[in-house]
Amino acid sequence: MKSYDLLNWATPLRVCTRETPTPKGTEVLLKLTHCGVCHTDVHVREGHYDLGDGKKLTFADRGYTLPITPGHEPVGEVAAVGDAVRDIGVGQRYLVNPWIGCGNCVRCEAGDDNLCMHMSAVGFGRWGGFSTHLLIRHPKYLVNIDGIPPDKAAPLSCSGLTTYSAIKKLSPLDPDDWVAVIGCGGLGTMAIAVLRGLGHKNIIACDLDDRKLESARASGALETCNLGQKGPEELTLIAGGPLYAMLDFVGSPATLALAIPTLRKGGRFVVCGLLGGTANIPIPLIAVREIAIQGSIVGNTRDLVALVDLVKQGRIKLPEVERRSFAMVDQSLDDLAAGRIVGRVVVEIDGRE
Residue 101 contacts Zn ion per CB under 5 A: yes
Pairing of strands 93-96, 133-136: unpaired
Cβ proximity to Zn ion, 150 vs 267, nearer residue: 150
CB of 137 to Zn ion, least distance (A): 12
Sole binder of Zn ion in the list 3, 33, 40, 300 (CB under 5 A): 40
Residue 116 contacts Zn ion per CB under 5 A: yes
What would the x/- binding string for Zn ion be over residues 58 to 97, using CB under 5 A? ----------------------------------------
CB of 161 to Zn ion, least distance (A): 9
CB of 36 to Zn ion, least distance (A): 7
Residue 38 contacts Zn ion per CB under 5 A: yes
The distance from CA 289 to its chain's CA centroid, rounded to whole angstroms, is 30
What would the x/- binding string for Zn ion be over residues 129 to 168, using CB under 5 A? -----------------------------x----------
Strand partners, 93: 77
Residue 35 contacts Zn ion per CB under 5 A: no
Residue 204: is it exposed, middle or buried by C-beta count within 10 angstroms (0-12/13-18/19+)? buried
Residue 122 contacts Zn ion per CB under 5 A: no
Cβ proximity to Zn ion, 108 vs 153, nearer residue: 108
CB of 100 to Zn ion, least distance (A): 9
- Backbone region of residue 96 per phi and psi (left: phi > 0; alpha: psi in -120 to 50; beta: other values): beta
Question: Which amino acid, one-letter code, is at 68?
Answer: I
Q: Where are the alpha helices (DSSP H) in 12-147?
A: 39-46, 106-109
CB of 172 to Zn ion, least distance (A): 28
Sole binder of Zn ion in the list 102, 110, 305, 327 (CB under 5 A): 102
Q: Provide the 3-class DSSP secondary structure of residue 333.
A: helix
Segment near Zn ion (CB under 5 A); pick from 33-41, 79-87, 143-151, 238-246: 33-41
DSSP letter for each residue of 75-103: EEEEEEE-TT--S--TT-EEEE------S
Segment near Zn ion (CB under 5 A); pick from 105-113, 148-156, 281-289, 344-352: 105-113
Segment near Zn ion (CB under 5 A); pick from 37-45, 55-63, 319-327, 330-338: 37-45
Cβ proximity to Zn ion, 43 vs 264, nearer residue: 43
Residue 110 contacts Zn ion per CB under 5 A: no
Question: Which amino acid, one-letter code, is at 189?
Answer: T
Q: State the Cα–Cα distance between residues 10 and 113, nearest whole angstrom.
A: 28
The answer to whether 181 touches 216, Cβ cutoff 8 Å, is: yes
Sole binder of Zn ion in the list 15, 16, 42, 105 (CB under 5 A): 105
SS (H, E, C) 212-269: HHHHHHHCCCCEEEECCCCCCHHHHHHHCCCEEEEEECCCCHHHHCCHHHHEEEEEEE
- Give per-residue burial for 327-350: e unless 16+ CB within 10 Å, then b: ebbbebbebbeeeebbbbbbbbbe
Q: With contacts defined by CB under 5 A, how many residues of the chain interact with Zn ion?
A: 8
Interface positions with Zn ion (CB under 5 A): 38, 40, 101-102, 105, 108, 116, 158
